[in-house]
Structure 1
Amino acid sequence: MMGNYKIEKFFSPYQSLSILLILVFLSSFSFAQTLGGNAAYNFLNLPSSPLLTAAGGVNVSYNANDVSLAANNPAFLQQSLTTQLNVSFNSFLAGIKNYSLTGAYYSQRLNTSFGGHVSYVDYGSIPATDAAGNISGSFHPADFVVQVSAAKKYLERWTYGTAIKFIQSSYPPYSSNAIALDAGLLYTDSANRFTASFLAKNMGTQLKTYTGVAEDLPFDLEAGISKRLSNAPFAFSFTVHHLHRFNLTYNDVAFNNDNSFSSPSSFDKIFNHFVLATHVYIGQNLEATIGYNHLRRQELSTSGAANGLTGFSAGLHIKFSKLQIQYARTSYQRGVSFNQLGLTVALNKLSGLGK
């Protein structure tokens, strides 16, 4: 009895929520200057789940009962995800590849869901040259992150979760590592098919710098809501990111020596924070998603040319009793898109684990 009391006291909802709010408050000041390409470890912003990619790359409220989404928001960890295991593969531009593995387990004794996540970004083999351009060999840059998370339910509708990350980056001869924390809060109203969430990402510091100069992590504050219609097979997600900074415009005047940037309108400054998604439920086992990321479209649009589907994404989620298949395709520029594939297996249904 005493042991259980100590466990419950340690996971006090009021203490956890208070810590979350304090961390978010402090981080909004500590990382307020991070913008554009100024942060290190920007690979942390890559969506590790095709479900997230299809929804525009930024989403904190869309709950598809798939463990891959818990890698982005630890508050998504729940009892129904126990023993789920997800593997995901991204094929980016220039031969860059991203591999992810995510799993979850629910402890009845602690009444807590735990998760683990590993993501590895392989940039391939790059020629090493001297100042004159002579090739002297090759090097193999890579990034990876290892994440451990936990989440606990509070009352009937609230879930709060945290994740601790160890980040390693290697660009020979330079290397760096860091530690970071994510904290999320999720509200679920199952009767009305409504979810809302708040997430603070990448609160942390470097343990080892690349060149002796400390750099910021890609901190972000995100909030979102998702609503599924009662009498139609549609759901909608509305996500706001970078809540700690109003103007997200990042103009690099050194790029092609171009300084002919126009001032962004108030509409663009506001809408740059928004990511929208529509989910279409086709029967019980198939779901299609279309997403739109306005900031991505603004940043990657080509001046004086049609920009096609830049900023748009789409995907499919196929559900079987023991297996889920996810596929997403997102457009970065006209004629430049990448694909992402994910598989989720329910180990408890395959082998009886966790029953």
Structure 2
Amino acid sequence: MRNISALFLALFLCTGASAQVGGISTYEFLNLPNSATVAAMGGHHIALRDDDLSLALRNPALLNDAMHQRGALSHGFHPAGISNSSLAYGYFHDKTKVTFQAGLQYTGYGSDLVRRDNTGQDLGTFSANDFALTVGGGRTFDERLSVGANLKLISSQLAGYGSFGLATDLAVHYQDSSSLWGVSLLARNIGLQIGKYDGASDREPLPYELQIGINRQLRYLPFRFSVIYRYLDRWNVLFEDPNAEIETSILTVEEETTGRGAGAVFLDNLARHFVLNGELMIGKQKNLRLRFGYNHGLRRELRLTDFRSLAGYSFGFAFRTKRFSLAYGRTTYHLGGGINQLGIDVGLGKR
């Protein structure tokens, strides 16, 4: 236990703080929801330990023997022919008490994208895609504490330019004896870009992120909720607008550019770290589950100045049995519409 705590303390201390998080790293497709469950719960859901294998692709400490011989498949329907899919399989090894998983996340941006030169002349078409092959394992100790790790081989192909990298996820999860609440600490995408895109001078950083999440199930109601705090390794996640008259900073009073005081800016920055979600379980066996999520950071980043939208809000449902699960999630990114995601989780072994 002390070794695990020391590891995560070192990860926290060794990570430098920086402002804003968008556009500073490569392989951003790793942050897309990998399942309908995650999509419906605000894009992040790291503290619930049950038999949903898709959650373990994000947090390997959630791997457990209930995921033995289960397969999970998910597909996200993006506009303009863009797709985001994931596939996973879990296996519990009885001798070592370790649950293993193997998974693939794939994002395709289309195969008929038009290539043009600097004068706008049509030079034909090209394709672009990213994928990450994941293997991982997790082990539970004393039915309360569990640890896990994922190893990812990442590849990106963009118009003939290729890159590949290696990354790992490290996680620890604690669940109380009553199984009513759990807490997870997760370090995602620790690694480096090994092969640079052709012509690139420097290696680009990966979308590293340190998260902590708490999941709580109410004792007398079939409802559970989660609170996830993102970017534990950095404080300022506000966007610095280069066109603003005064540089955006959590330490300045921005009344000339935004009409907000320092207190409002501080609270906005704090709220951007949080993702909130909930799940209502209906039926005697809790087969039908209604889900919703709110991501304040996503809402603020994708808001429009003159129009209100549902950006940052998500919802979905799942129908679950012991043998299979069918899930749907919808995330709103813009006033123009949202992304639909479907997923299925099936038990492939004997029950």
Does structure 2 conserve the Cα–Cα contact (< 8 Å) formed by 1:251 and 1:261?
Answer: no
Secondary structure at the aligned position of 2:304 is classed as coil
Structure 1 position 322, deviation (Å)? 1.6
From 52, 61, 65, the counterpart of 1:75: 61
Structure 1 position 32, deviation (Å)? 4.8
Structure 1 position 54, deviation (Å)? 0.8
From 217, 232, 236, the counterpart of 2:221: 232
Corresponding residue of 1:9: none
CA 1:249 to 1:347, structure 2 compared with 1: closer, same or farther past 3 Å?
same
Secondary structure at the aligned position of 2:349 is classed as helix
Structure 1 residues 23-102: aligned runs within 5 Å: 23-26=11-14, 28-29=15-16, 32=18, 35-102=21-88
1:219-241: CA deviations, max 9, x gaps?
10100111111111211111100
Aligned length: 332
Secondary structure at the aligned position of 2:203 is classed as coil
Work out the CA distance in 1 between the residues paired with 2:7 and 2:349: 34
Structure 1 position 25, deviation (Å)? 3.6
Read off the aligned partner of 2:24 and give its amino acid letter: N
Work out the CA distance in 2 between the residues paired with 1:204 and 1:76: 21
Work out the CA distance in 2 between the residues paired with 1:335 and 1:167: 31
From 106, 128, 141, the counterpart of 1:154: 141
Corresponding residue of 1:104: 90
Does structure 1 conserve the Cα–Cα contact (< 8 Å) formed by 2:227 and 2:277?
Answer: yes
Corresponding residue of 1:278: 278
Q: What is the identity percentage for the equivalent residue pairs of Structure 1 and Structure 2?
A: 33
CA 1:51 to 1:237, structure 2 compared with 1: closer, same or farther past 3 Å?
same
Work out the CA distance in 1 between the residues paired with 2:336 and 2:20: 30
Does structure 1 conserve the Cα–Cα contact (< 8 Å) formed by 2:19 and 2:236?
Answer: no
Does structure 2 conserve the Cα–Cα contact (< 8 Å) formed by 1:34 and 1:216?
Answer: no
Work out the CA distance in 1 between the residues paired with 2:320 and 2:241: 44
Read off the aligned partner of 2:322 and give its amino acid letter: S
Read off the aligned partner of 1:303 and give its amino acid letter: T
Corresponding residue of 2:268: 268
Structure 1 position 23, deviation (Å)? 3.8
1:119-172: CA deviations, max 9, x gaps?
110000201111111111111000000111111112230000011111111112
Does structure 1 conserve the Cα–Cα contact (< 8 Å) formed by 2:18 and 2:236?
Answer: no
Structure 1 position 182, deviation (Å)? 0.5
From 123, 140, 145, the counterpart of 2:132: 145
Work out the CA distance in 2 between the residues paired with 1:61 and 1:105: 21
Does structure 2 conserve the Cα–Cα contact (< 8 Å) formed by 1:75 and 1:159?
Answer: yes
Work out the CA distance in 2 between the residues paired with 1:327 and 1:119: 18
Gaps of 5+ in 2: 249-255
Higher mean C-alpha displacement, 13-22 vs 277-286: 13-22
1:251-291: CA deviations, max 9, x gaps?
35379xxx996366111010000000111011121111110
The alignment's TM-score, normalised by the length of structure 2, stands at 0.89
From 177, 184, 188, the counterpart of 1:197: 184
Structure 1 residues 248-263: aligned runs within 5 Å: 248-253=237-242, 262=258
Secondary structure at the aligned position of 1:348 is classed as coil
Corresponding residue of 2:233: 244
From 79, 103, 109, the counterpart of 1:123: 109
CA 1:195 to 1:145, structure 2 compared with 1: closer, same or farther past 3 Å?
same
Work out the CA distance in 2 between the residues paired with 1:298 and 1:149: 34
From 288, 294, 304, the counterpart of 1:302: 304
CA 1:218 to 1:348, structure 2 compared with 1: closer, same or farther past 3 Å?
same
